[in-house]
């Protein structure tokens, strides 16, 4: 079986063809994957503009799907999988409407996919089935969530951010340093030449005893807004001390040091939570997916911690870290094999939930 995946939840228009292999250990084979990024359009505005995003998806989707079929060397597919949420509703609707029309015209099943289930499937697509139970961290511009996977394709939420997502913190810190959008890749690059101990930014550790935001016992929540505010305070104080005015650019080496110090805290918080959860759930593997999993320090430190604890670490290649449709096609194949298809009344759901009673 071959599934065509379509992803338009945010600022990438993507399509991909994924085939079943018949091998239970490595179930999916990627045939082709095309991503049209809108980053250049949104950069000018310092973030994703929903209306511009939806309009650009409409312009790009036909060409992206056509190129995917050409690259895959065939026009045949046995199902169409599409992201139905969470994401920007206008953007999601473009993909959902397109997928419906295509599935209807081609007389193949329509398969709804949760965006985060897609990110998790990117790990299996490249690395094969994860030894279970597994702990998976999804870390992107919109999400920072921790799941336990006890059976293939079944995700149980065990922690999430109470405020900003980690990618959002990267984007906001980059903005206040005057580094442009998106912030993750720029900070990652500048941090390489900075000292990660130059500034001692705080680590926020939430527990269920946290008075301001009571949690659920056993949950491992994250919080990044305090860190972002600490960076803002530090930058404001340095600008004042150097007489640079409110938006003045700090010296290059200071910017590198701030990036490295901020990144050290983010990576430590994420990996502390991930590996703590792995220990308490007796996990046989851990995984990291989503846009921030492209971060060079997060990737390197996760591998080092995994090696020292003897636990395999699954991280997608850079191409599959950020949004793509290969992960949606693979998750669609899994959903179809589990009996999930949608009717022609399928709708987008901007706040689609996953993994239990609390939103991911």
Is residue 171 involved in binding ligand KG4 (CB under 6 A)? yes
Is residue 257 involved in binding ligand KG4 (CB under 6 A)? no
Is residue 140 involved in binding Zn ion (CB under 5 A)? yes
Nearer to ligand KG4 (CB atom), residue 19 or residue 171: 171
Is residue 164 involved in binding ligand KG4 (CB under 6 A)? no
Q: How far is the CB of 324 from Zn ion (least distance, A)?
A: 9
Give the bridge partners for 144, in sequence order. Answer: 139
Q: Which does 7 bind (CB under 5 to 8 A by kind): ligand KG4, Zn ion, none?
A: none
Q: Which does 126 bind (CB under 5 to 8 A by kind): Zn ion, ligand KG4, none?
A: none
Is residue 167 involved in binding ligand KG4 (CB under 6 A)? yes
Beta carbons of 3 and 109 less than 8 angstroms apart: no
Residue whose pair of structure tokens reads 């310092």 in the numeric block: 46
Is residue 322 involved in binding ligand KG4 (CB under 6 A)? yes
Is residue 183 involved in binding ligand KG4 (CB under 6 A)? yes
295-334 residues near Zn ion, rule: CB under 5 A? 323
279-308 residues near ligand KG4, rule: CB under 6 A? 290-292, 294-295
Angle between helices 89-106 and 50-71 (to 10 degrees): 30
Give the bridge partners for 277, in sequence order. Answer: none
Of the candidate spans 24-32, 71-79, 134-142, 346-354, the one that interacts with ligand KG4 by CB under 6 A turns out to be 134-142
Q: Which does 171 bind (CB under 5 to 8 A by kind): ligand KG4, Zn ion, none?
A: ligand KG4
Q: Give the total of residues touching ligand KG4 (CB under 6 A).
A: 19
Is residue 19 involved in binding Zn ion (CB under 5 A)? no
Q: How far is the CB of 133 from ligand KG4 (least distance, A)?
A: 24
Q: Which residues bind Zn ion (CB under 5 A)?
A: 140, 323
Q: Which residues bind ligand KG4 (CB under 6 A)?
A: 10, 140-142, 167, 170-171, 182-185, 188, 290-292, 294-295, 322-323
């Amino acid at each position: 079986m071959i599934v065509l995946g379509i992803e338009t939840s945010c600022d990438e228009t993507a399509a991909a063809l994924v085939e079943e292999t018949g091998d239970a250990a490595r179930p999916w084979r990627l045939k082709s994957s095309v991503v049209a990024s809108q980053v250049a359009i949104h950069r000018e505005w310092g973030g994703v503009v929903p209306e511009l995003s939806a309009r650009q998806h409409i312009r790009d989707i036909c060409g992206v799907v056509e190129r995917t079929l050409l690259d895959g060397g065939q026009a045949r597919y046995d199902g169409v999988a599409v992201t139905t949420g969470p994401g920007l509703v206008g953007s999601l609707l473009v993909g959902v409407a397109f997928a419906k029309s295509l599935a209807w015209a081609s007389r193949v099943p329509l398969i709804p996919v949760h965006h985060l289930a897609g990110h998790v499937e990117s790990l299996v697509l490249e690395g094969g089935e994860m030894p279970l139970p597994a702990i998976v961290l999804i870390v992107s511009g919109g999400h920072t969530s921790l799941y336990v996977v006890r059976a293939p394709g079944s995700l149980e939420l065990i922690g999430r951010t109470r405020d900003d997502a980690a990618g959002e913190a990267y984007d906001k810190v980059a903005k206040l340093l005057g580094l442009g959008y998106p912030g993750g890749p720029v900070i990652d690059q500048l941090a390489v030449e900075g000292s990660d101990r130059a500034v001692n930014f705080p680590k926020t550790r939430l527990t269920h005893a946290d008075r301001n935001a009571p949690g659920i016992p056993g949950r491992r929540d994250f919080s990044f807004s305090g860190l972002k505010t600490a960076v803002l305070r530090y930058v404001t104080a340095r600008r004042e001390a150097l007489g640079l005015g409110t938006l003045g650019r700090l010296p290059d080496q200071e910017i590198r040091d701030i990036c490295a110090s901020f990144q050290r805290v983010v990576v430590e918080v994420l990996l502390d939570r991930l590996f703590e959860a792995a220990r308490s759930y007796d996990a046989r593997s851990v995984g990291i997916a989503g846009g921030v999993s492209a971060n060079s320090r997060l990737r390197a430190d996760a591998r080092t911690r995994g090696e020292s604890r003897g636990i395999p670490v699954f991280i997608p290649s850079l191409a599959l870290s950020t949004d793509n449709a290969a992960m949606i096609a693979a998750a669609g194949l899994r959903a179809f094999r589990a009996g999930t298809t949608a009717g022609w009344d399928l709708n987008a759901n901007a706040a689609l939930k996953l993994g239990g009673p609390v939103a991911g």
